[in-house]
Amino acid sequence: MTATYREQGDIAVVTLNNPPVNGLGYETRKGIVDGIQRAIDNDAIRAIVIIGEGKGFSGGADIREFNTPKALQEPWLQTVIRIVEDSSKPVIAAIHGVAMGGGLELALGCHYRVAVAGAQIALPEVKLGILPGAGGTQRLPRILGLEPALNMIISGNPVMSDKLAGTKLFDQMITGDLLEGAMTFARSVADARPLPKVRDIKIQYPNADGYLQFARNTVRAVAGPFPAPFKCVEAVAAAVSKKFDDGLKVERDLFLELVQTTESKALRHAFFGERAASKIPDVPADTLLRAIRSAAVIGAGTMGGGIAMNFANAGIPVKVLEAKQEALDKGLATIRKNYENSMRKGKLTQEQLDKRMGLISGTLSYDDIGQADIVIEAVFEDMGVKEAVFNKLDHVMKPGAILASNTSTLDIDKIAAFTKRPQDVIGTHFFSPANVMKLLEIVRGAKTAKDVLATTMALAKTIRKTGVVSGVCDGFIGNRMVEQYIRQAGFLLEEGCLPEQVDKAIEKFGFAMGPFRMSDLAGNDIGWYIRKRRYVEKPDVTYSKIADLLCEKGRFGQKTSAGWYDYKSGDRKAYPSDEVNQMIIAHSKDLGIERRKISDQEIVERLVYALVNEGALILDEGIALRASDIDMVYLTGYGFPLFRGGPMFYADTVGLPNVLMSIHRYAKGRHPEAWIPAPLLSKLASAGKTFN
Ligand code: 3HC
Ligand code: NAI
């Protein structure tokens, strides 16, 4: 049973018991209604307590039920709440852990609410692209007041129960055992009549219309492509202007409208995608993890410094090893500077800064790091240098330590073979800046032990990253796909585009940054270095030569104040460069290409479908475990627009036959070799199926 009923003397206790978070699925909803009815039918019962088993009161509607018939199967949550509210005996919500979404809405339908400190109270629906659909937009403003309620509804952010202790939301804060406290409270109100109902409270707010208009303007400015925040304001406006039941109807209609939107589906896809990514089919969830209480990082450069910060931020002591004192000093100084910048922005206190810097120490000696539970290598991207480092690590690290490499392109299996313990070796591919970017690609070598993989996955969560497993291949999931995207960007220049047009088109589609601005930021020399290797290793792969010509001019990007664009000192803005644009036009001429006007639609399709096609190969080869993993890589590491759900999800929404048709069309262009449809894409398209 996902909701149980029992009687304790004159009090009935309905316990929500639907792990993991007491989602209000059909059976649970039915269990609550049955429980209330039984309590009403028994004359010996004077009051009813609803409480949650385990983690909290309730995380809200069971989002696994969305878009399934069960979601709309009576009793709906609205019906449940009406039955609770209409109960002739007082119903008391006893809250701990979380009361979110429908969980909070259920509590608001109760006559009384008691809570312990430390519970997270929220209406987070907006984060899933919807709005509270079971009275939350009508009841929360009534009990908390218009402004605080609207803030909670449009931000979706939790507020701690202790902070709400003085408000009408909680009739009593309980110290000690929650159930005991709730039952004592229940007895104290058992005979109180009439029963208080939130729906009866009048919203008092001078000039509510003016405030709501201000809220609409603010939301319009910040919500971007997401429709939900604006609709939240509309639903709350109905709470102010309409009778309670009419307001409920407005809320319900808006909810049903939003739940069908692609934006909401994309957000829910990302929510589940993030959680699915941590599940590895052949690694049981109860795999015994190795303890990670200390860490070491080799190399204090761009990546090493950021990686070390992640450990310190999570309270894990970390030693940073460098080859030379000067490089070490520079690396540690950069870390301090980063923290100081955060402090200046008010994101960190001096005390936190001191604590974090106190957890980071530098060394030049491998003898100092041997006892670390995990070591992450972030030295130059050169197999010879990696070999020397891993030989050394094999020699000094204690048995059972995890040996990780931050390589972005090199073969983890070869790196593992430099040691006598390949089972302990794994790839941890952070993204720059490593202390900021959410993505962590976790590269599973052929011999990586399951507990090493599970531990690294858990570590990702500890350091607040989205861990996604990738198999070993050139570029892993993210960079292997982005190479196809960058290739298309290069071909577009040859055929008629300028960098600005390409960037603008894909930024309008929703990418945080177009390929040329991104390349200028990362350093054009990195791609050049990789291409030079490719020209030898994979001579068949075609690239536009424009990027090489750019690098031959020393235009490496922001760091040289010149790349695809010009830069002014102290200014990160990209200014279109006449020199580069002339070079591009001249190169087309050299190739005998008559430049043509290319539409934004073509630009977007060629860039995005290049990602999708490579993603399909990656999926087919088992490099990615599931399509949503690829989407998570792109949402968290490459600035793919969240409202489009990631490349594979986006392809699903476009329709795979449509994607395939475009690919066939582009294959008739100048580079058919770049448009060979992935067999999986063709297969799914002809079967009428989707990636996700
Ligand atoms: N329904 C079903 N499953 C849910 C869920 C929900 N509402 N919320 C979380 N879960 C599942 C997760 O998918 C995950 O499952 P897994 O273990 O199989 O991967 C598990 O619960 C644990 O989730 P987290 O890893 O996120 O655990 P945390 O302890 O970090 O966080 C939480 C718990 C704060 C409740 C967080 O999960 C969360 O924010 N959940 C979303 C809550 C939400 O958005 N509720 C609103 C739902 S919509 C609604 O109520 C509509 C109504 O207005 C009509
Ligand atoms: P970097 O050049 O900024 O830093 C490398 C550091 O390693 C230098 O400080 C150097 O002194 C040190 N070093 C070199 N050999 C050493 C040795 N034998 N022992 C100890 N220290 C040594 O390089 P960056 O950018 O930090 O890259 C490091 C690794 O991370 C590379 O494998 C790279 O491919 C990978 N990576 C880089 C990303 C980026 O955006 N820069 C993104 C993801 C991965």
Q: What is the pLDDT of residue 508?
A: 97
Residue matched to tokens 């910048």: 341
Cβ(389) to ligand 2 under 6 A? yes
Token readout for 445 is: 């070598």
Give the pLDDT confidence of 84-125 residue by residue, as tens digits: 999 999 999 999 999 999 999 999 999 999 999 999 999 999
Q: What is the pLDDT of residue 538?
A: 87
Mean pLDDT of 422-426: 98
Nearest protein CA to atom 10 of ligand 2, as residue: 299
Cβ(59) to ligand 1 under 6 A? yes
pTM of the model: 0.93
Q: Which helix (H) or strand (E) holds 524?
A: helix 524-537
Question: Under 8 Å CB-to-CB from 225, ≥6 apart: which residues?
Answer: 263, 510, 641, 643
* Reported CATH class of domain 3-259: alpha beta
Nearest protein CA to atom 39 of ligand 2, as residue: 432
Residue 105 CA, closest ligand 1 atom number:
53
Can you tell me whether residue 507 is helix, strand or coil?
Answer: helix
Q: What is the pLDDT of residue 631?
A: 98
Q: What percent of the chain has pLDDT over 90?
A: 95
Cβ(273) to ligand 1 under 6 A? no
Token readout for 343 is: 């402090």
Q: What is the pLDDT of residue 569?
A: 84
DSSP 172-224: EE--S-HHHHHHHHHHHHTT-SSPP-GGGPPP--TTHHHHHHHHHHHHHHH-T
Query: Is residue 139 classed exposed, middle or buried when 0-12, 13-18 and 19+ CB atoms within 10 A define those classes?
Result: buried
* Residue 198 contacts residue 155 (beta carbons within 8 Å): no
Which among 17, 18, 21, 53 is the best mutation to test ligand 1's pocket, defined by most ligand atoms within 8 Å of the CB? Answer: 21
Can you tell me whether residue 538 is helix, strand or coil?
Answer: coil
What is the CATH superfamily name and number for domain 295-470?
NAD(P)-binding Rossmann-like Domain (3.40.50.720)
Q: What is the pLDDT of residue 526?
A: 86
Q: Residue 305 carries which side chain, given as an amino acid letter?
A: G
What is the rounded distance in angstroms from the CA atom of residue 21 to the CA atom of residue 19?
5
* Residue 25 contacts residue 2 (beta carbons within 8 Å): yes
pLDDT over 80 (residue 483): yes
pLDDT over 90 (residue 402): yes
What is the rounded distance in angstroms from the CA atom of residue 504 to the CA atom of residue 247?
42
Position 418 confidence tier, pLDDT thresholds 50, 70, 90? very high
> Which residues does the annotation mark as catalytic?
105, 125
Q: What is the pLDDT of residue 71?
A: 83
Residue 385 CA, closest ligand 2 atom number:
18
User: Lowest-confidence range among 243-257, 353-367, 533-547?
Assistant: 533-547
pLDDT over 80 (residue 67): no
Give the pLDDT confidence of 50-60 residue by residue, as tens digits: 999 999 999 99
pLDDT over 80 (residue 566): yes
Question: Under 8 Å CB-to-CB from 37, ≥6 apart: which residues?
Answer: 83
pLDDT over 90 (residue 77): yes
Q: What is the pLDDT of residue 611?
A: 98
20 CA to centre of ligand 2 in angstroms: 41
Sheet holding 374-377, edge to edge: 360-363, 318-321, 295-298, 374-377, 402-405, 425-430, 439-443, 466-470
Cis link prior to 433 (omega < 30° from 0)?
A: yes
Q: What is the pLDDT of residue 539?
A: 87
Q: What is the pLDDT of residue 36?
A: 98
Mean pLDDT of 415-438: 97
Q: How many Cα atoms sit within 13 Å of 87 on the Cβ side? A: 34
Q: What is the pLDDT of residue 533?
A: 87
Q: What is the pLDDT of residue 572?
A: 85
* Residue 516 contacts residue 503 (beta carbons within 8 Å): yes
Mean pLDDT of 402-430: 97
677 CA to centre of ligand 1 in angstroms: 37
Q: What is the pLDDT of residue 661?
A: 98
Cβ(305) to ligand 2 under 6 A? no
Q: What is the pLDDT of residue 1?
A: 80
Nearest protein CA to atom 40 of ligand 1, as residue: 59
Hey, where are the domains in the chain?
Answer: 3-259, 295-470, 478-545+591-687
Nearest of 680, 511, 527, 672 to residue 603 by alpha carbon: 511
Q: What is the pLDDT of residue 530?
A: 86
What is the rounded distance in angstroms from the CA atom of residue 192 to the CA atom of residue 201?
17
Give the pLDDT confidence of 293-317 residue by residue, as tens digits: 999 999 999 999 999 999 999 999 9
Distance of CA 43 to the CA centre of its chain: 50
Cβ(134) to ligand 1 under 6 A? yes
Helix axes 499-509, 515-522, angle to 10 degrees: 110
Helix axes 208-222, 146-155, angle to 10 degrees: 20
Token readout for 564 is: 């695809």
Which among 297, 298, 302 is the best mutation to test ligand 2's pocket, defined by most ligand atoms within 8 Å of the CB? Answer: 302
Question: Under 8 Å CB-to-CB from 262, ≥6 apart: which residues?
Answer: 643, 644, 645, 653
Residue 62 CA, closest ligand 1 atom number:
1
* Residue 451 contacts residue 287 (beta carbons within 8 Å): yes
Cβ(410) to ligand 2 under 6 A? no
Token readout for 647 is: 């490349």
Mean pLDDT of 613-622: 98
* Residue 93 contacts residue 183 (beta carbons within 8 Å): no
What letters, b where the CB count within 10 A reaches 16 and e where it falls short, cover 407-431? bbebbbbebbbbbebbebbbbbbbb
Q: How far is CA 109 from each of CA 12, 56, 82, 90, 283, rounded to the nearest angstrom? A: 17, 18, 7, 11, 42
Q: What is the pLDDT of residue 171?
A: 98
Residue 124 CA, closest ligand 1 atom number:
44
* Residue 117 contacts residue 161 (beta carbons within 8 Å): yes
Which among 22, 28, 63 is the best mutation to test ligand 1's pocket, defined by most ligand atoms within 8 Å of the CB? Answer: 63
Round the average pLDDT of the chain to a whole number and report it: 96
pLDDT over 90 (residue 286): yes
Distance of CA 227 to the CA centre of its chain: 19
Token readout for 317 is: 């002591």
Q: What is the pLDDT of residue 337?
A: 96
DSSP label at residue 164: G
pLDDT over 80 (residue 21): yes
Position 371 confidence tier, pLDDT thresholds 50, 70, 90? very high
Mean pLDDT of 634-657: 97
Token readout for 589 is: 């001429």
Nearest protein CA to atom 16 of ligand 1, as residue: 275
pLDDT over 80 (residue 66): no
Residue 355 burial (CB count, 10 A): 13
Q: What is the pLDDT of residue 208?
A: 94
What is the rounded distance in angstroms from the CA atom of residue 527 to the CA atom of residue 541?
14
Position 379 confidence tier, pLDDT thresholds 50, 70, 90? very high
Q: Which helix (H) or strand (E) holds 492?
A: helix 476-495
Q: What is the pLDDT of residue 433?
A: 92
Residue 331 CA, closest ligand 2 atom number:
9
Cis link prior to 194 (omega < 30° from 0)?
A: yes
Q: What is the pLDDT of residue 448?
A: 98
Q: What is the pLDDT of residue 123?
A: 98
Q: How many Cα atoms sit within 13 Å of 236 on the Cβ side? A: 32
Mean pLDDT of 147-151: 97
Its CATH architecture, for the domain 478-545+591-687, is Orthogonal Bundle (1.10)
* Residue 198 contacts residue 141 (beta carbons within 8 Å): no
Which among 366, 393, 405, 408 is the best mutation to test ligand 2's pocket, defined by most ligand atoms within 8 Å of the CB? Answer: 408
